[in-house]
């Protein structure tokens, strides 16, 4: 089991302006992605990061309840799916940032040692609050990146659970994912909706380049990192 040691970034002083911004982002109307990222500047966050993340769970439950009510009164399904996808994306992106500063801040390289992408129904934006998020973590081939990436992934798994977001995931290199997709129709369908969320965009781009040859899927248009 990986030991997760949380260390604040060097020179982590929070000035008055940052503190005021943090308070504003704790408002229930602030996007979850921004509220999560703001935790990195909060006093005492690094003493108990997962407790701070869990404190944002009511936002997720509020959104879940609001979407359930919208469904009950006959609201547009497409709008509900977009809203839930936006919240889920914000959770994953925000947690990826916190994971970097909590368990990877001391790394010599600033390049993220991983990428996280949405796949399956979640990648297609058709995942509702009752469906588990489907995530794929991509890692480089070197051992150091696997060690760093493993710590980040472990942090994110805990964070998603604390936010009350059911999810499933897999971990592998871009080449391994492409090979899997080429030999399994279910895997082909899963990766057909792949969508970049956070981390090293080059790992995602490598997978996208490999998929057409491995699976016969059409080539993607050029995408930009977030």
Interatomic CA distance for residues 9 and 17, integer angstroms? 18
Instruction: Provide the phi-psi class of 65: left if phi over 0, else alpha when psi is between -120 and 50, else beta.
Output: alpha
| Listed ranges 10-14, 25-29, 159-163; the one with the highest mean pLDDT | 159-163
In tens, the pLDDT along 29-57 reads: 458 999 999 999 988 899 999 999 999 99
- Residue at token pair 């008055």: 16
Q: Does 85 have pLDDT greater than 70?
A: yes
What percent of the chain stands above pLDDT 90?
67
Count how many residues are written for the chain.
226
In tens, the pLDDT along 170-223 reads: 999 999 999 999 989 999 999 999 999 999 999 999 999 999 988 887 877 656
Q: Does 8 have pLDDT greater than 60?
A: no
Burial 42-52 (b: 16+ CB within 10 A, else e): beebbeebbeb
CB 83 within 8 A of CB 63: yes
In tens, the pLDDT along 125-176 reads: 999 898 999 999 999 999 999 999 999 999 999 999 999 999 999 999 999 9
Interatomic CA distance for residues 25 and 35, integer angstroms? 5
pTM equals 0.84
CATH dotted code for 17-215:
3.30.460.10
Q: Does 7 have pLDDT greater than 70?
A: no
């Amino acid at each position: 089991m990986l030991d997760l040691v949380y260390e604040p970034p060097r020179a982590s002083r929070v000035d008055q302006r940052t503190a005021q911004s943090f308070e504003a982002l704790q408002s229930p109307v602030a996007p979850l992605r921004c509220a999560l990222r703001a935790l990195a500047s909060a006093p005492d966050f690094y003493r108990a990061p997962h407790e701070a993340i869990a404190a944002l769970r009511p936002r997720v439950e509020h959104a879940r309840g609001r979407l359930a009510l919208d469904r009950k009164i006959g609201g547009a399904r497409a709008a509900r799916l977009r809203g839930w996808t936006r919240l889920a994306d914000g959770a994953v992106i925000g947690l990826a940032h916190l994971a970097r500063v909590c368990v990877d801040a001391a790394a010599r390289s600033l390049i993220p040692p991983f990428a996280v992408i949405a796949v399956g129904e979640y990648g297609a934006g058709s995942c509702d609050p009752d469906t588990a998020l489907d995530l794929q973590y991509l890692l480089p081939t070197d051992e150091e990146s696997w060690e760093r990436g493993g710590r980040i992934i472990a942090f994110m798994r805990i964070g998603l659970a604390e936010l009350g977001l059911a999810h499933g995931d897999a971990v592998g290199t871009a080449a391994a994912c492409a090979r899997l997709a080429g030999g399994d129709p279910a895997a082909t369908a899963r990766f057909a909706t792949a969508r970049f969320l956070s981390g090293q965009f080059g790992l995602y781009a490598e997978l996208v380049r490999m998929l057409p040859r491995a699976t016969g899927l059409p080539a993607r248009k050029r995408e930009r990192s977030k």
